Amino acid sequence: MPYPMQLGFQDATSPIMEELMYFHDHTLMIVFLISSLVLYIIILMLTTKLTHTSTMDAQEVETIWTILPAVILVLIALPSLRILYMMDEIYNPYLTVKAMGHQWYWSYEYTDYEDLTFDSYMIPTQELTPGQLRLLEVDNRVVLPMELPIRMLISSEDVLHAWAVPSLGLKTDAIPGRLNQATLTSTRPGVYYGQCSEICGSNHSFMPIVLEMTTLKYFEKWSSMMQ
């Protein structure tokens, strides 16, 4: 969960999100160094009257400022491509869940079970109990086992939506007539919140996502009760 005055990301709860946070810090450091160098050169040009005329025609300087940006781009591109392929790979998922976006709620179908489907609506503010979060709580949570690869199939029945859970590093568009795929693995139990991240109409901000990651034993008990 985010908290007031937070500057960084939410705490990562999946290997993919941890990799994304490392990549963010890696890229931010490169941007900081480039910005510092440019600022230093600008200040130097504004505060000194000394010039070096031979520098204007130096082939060595031109070679450096051509090769150095290319090297920096490679240092950014390689880890980015690695994470991109990691996010697309799905090997033998333990469970497949289909999420369908509607105006303005989500419906879920556990495709490995016969009759395990339900709709997930936001709980109105006046019906919240103490401790529940406004605009984030739902009447039916998505319960999933932790430490297991899970495949999410995401689509929509009306307009564009987006199924996003920041703590897991997930954000996948829900497009009518198209089935998008995502994978998630939680490294610890907990309740994780997300929201639709695509403007989908007047009640766009009222279709939250709540994942409850539990042990496999509790998940099997829950699934048998829901059928």
- Report pLDDT for 53: 62
- CATH, domain range 95-226: 2.60.40.420
How far apart, in whole angstroms, are the C-alpha atoms of residue 214 and residue 1? 17
User: How far is 53 from 56, CA to CA, in rounded Å?
Assistant: 6
What is the end-to-end Cα distance of the chain in Å, rounded? 30
Predicted local confidence at residue 4, as pLDDT: 80
Q: Give me the pLDDT at residue 148, please.
A: 92
Task: Indicate the SS3 state at residue 202.
Answer: coil
Q: Are strands 142-145 and 208-214 parallel, antiparallel or unpaired?
A: parallel
Scored b (16 or more CB within 10 A) or e, 25-43 reads eeeeeeeeeeeeeeeeeee
Q: Predicted confidence band at 47 (pLDDT cuts at 50, 70, 90)?
A: confident
Best CA proximity match to 10, nearest among 189, 210, 192: 192
Record the tokens describing residue 192, joined without a space: 């994780």
Mean pLDDT for the chain?
89
Instruction: Inform me whether the pLDDT recorded for 201 exceeds 90.
Output: no
The CATH number that domain 15-88 falls under is 1.10.287.90
Yes or no: say if 72 and 30 are a contact pair by the CB < 8 Å rule: yes
Distance in angstroms (rounded) separating the CA atoms of residues 177 and 152:
16
Q: Show the tokens assigned to 69.
A: 């940006």
Task: Summarize pLDDT for 30-46 with one digit per residue, the tens.
Answer: 999 999 999 998 898 88
pLDDT at 127 exceeding the cut of 80:
yes
Lowest mean pLDDT among 23-32, 93-102, 195-204: 195-204
pLDDT band at 57 (very low <50, low <70, confident <90, very high): low
Report the predicted TM-score, pTM, of the whole model to 2 decimal places: 0.84
* Strand order through the sheet with 190-196: 142-145, 208-214, 190-196, 161-165, 170-174
The per-residue pLDDT for 155 is 95
Burial of 116 (0-12, 13-18, 19+ CB in 10 A): middle
Please tell me the distance from the alpha carbon of residue 67 to that of residue 91, in angstroms, as a whole number. 39
Which DSSP symbol is given to 168?
G
- Which pLDDT does position 26 carry in this prediction? 93
In this predicted structure, what is the pLDDT of residue 225? 85
- Asked whether residue 52 carries a pLDDT value surpassing 70, the answer given is no
Domain with CATH 1.10.287.90 in the chain: 15-88
What integer is the mean pLDDT of 89-93? Answer: 80
pLDDT of residue 145: 94
Per-residue pLDDT at 51 exceeds 70: no
* Range(s) of the chain covered by CATH 2.60.40.420: 95-226
Asked if residue 14 lies in contact with residue 186, where contact means CB atoms within 8 angstroms, the answer is yes
pLDDT digits (tens, 9 = 90+) for 142-175: 999 999 999 999 999 999 999 999 999 999 999 9
